[in-house]
Structure 1
Amino acid sequence: MSTDPHPASRPQLILIPGLLNDAGLWRDQLAGLAALADCRVADITRGESMQALADSVLADAAPTFALAGFSLGGYVAQEIARRAPQRIERLALLDTTIRPDTPARAALRRSHEQLVRLQGTFNAFGDRMLDTYLAPAHRHDEALIGRIRAMTSRLGSEVFLRQSGLVREDGAAVLQSLDCPLLIACGEQDLLTPLAAHREMAALNPRARLVVIPDSGHLAPMENPSAVTQALADWLQEPGEPCRPGVSHARQTPA
Structure 2
Amino acid sequence: MSGKNLELLLLLLLLHALPLDGSMWAAQLDLLPGATYAPTLYGFGDRVEDWAAEALKLPRGNQVIVVGCSVGGSCALEVAALAPERVAGLVLIGTKAARRSDPAFHATAVKALREQGLESAWREWWEPAFSTAASPAIIARARRILMRQPLEDVVLGVEAFHTRQSRDDVLSTFSGPVHMVTGADDVLPGLATSSKQADMAPNGCLHVIPECGHYVPMERPEALNSTIRQLIDQIAT
Fold match (TM-score > 0.5): yes
- Matches of 1:115 and 1:200 in 2, distance apart? 33
Structure 2 residue 105 is matched with structure 1 residue 111: no
Aligned residue number for residue 48 of structure 1: 46
Among 57, 60, 69, which residue is 1:59 paired with?
A: 57
Paired residue secondary structure (2:228): helix
* Structure 2, gaps ≥5 residues long: 1-6
Do 1:20 and 1:159's aligned partners in 2 also have CA atoms closer than 8 Å? no
- Matches of 2:127 and 2:14 in 1, distance apart? 25
Q: Quickly say closer, same or farther: Cα 1:214–1:101, change in 2 above 3 A.
A: same
Among 222, 246, 249, which residue is 2:218 paired with?
A: 222
One-letter identity of the residue aligned with 1:66? I
Aligned residue number for residue 232 of structure 1: 228
The structure with the largest alpha-carbon Rg is 1
Structure 2 residue 75 is matched with structure 1 residue 81: no
CA drift of 1:240 comes to 7.5
Do 1:181 and 1:208's aligned partners in 2 also have CA atoms closer than 8 Å? yes
Structure 2 residue 158 is matched with structure 1 residue 164: yes
Paired residue secondary structure (1:79): helix
Answer 1 or 2: which has greater helix percent.
2
Aligned residue number for residue 182 of structure 1: 178
One-letter identity of the residue aligned with 1:88? V
Q: Quickly say closer, same or farther: Cα 1:16–1:25, change in 2 above 3 A.
A: same
Alignment of 1:123-142 (within 5 A): 123-138=119-134, 141-142=135-136
One-letter identity of the residue aligned with 2:47? S
More displaced 10-residue stretch of structure 1: 38-47 or 232-241: 232-241
Same amino acid, percent of matched pairs: 24
Paired residue secondary structure (1:165): helix
Do 1:29 and 1:229's aligned partners in 2 also have CA atoms closer than 8 Å? yes
Among 198, 203, 210, which residue is 1:202 paired with?
A: 198
Do 2:49 and 2:164's aligned partners in 1 also have CA atoms closer than 8 Å? no
Q: What TM-score comes out, normalization by structure 2 length?
A: 0.89
CA drift of 1:68 comes to 0.8
| Runs of 4+ that moved beyond 4 A | none
Do 2:70 and 2:93's aligned partners in 1 also have CA atoms closer than 8 Å? yes
One-letter identity of the residue aligned with 1:217? G
Do 1:132 and 1:192's aligned partners in 2 also have CA atoms closer than 8 Å? no
Q: What TM-score comes out, normalization by structure 1 length?
A: 0.83
Q: How many aligned residue pairs are there?
A: 227
Structure 2 residue 153 is matched with structure 1 residue 151: no
Paired residue secondary structure (2:234): coil
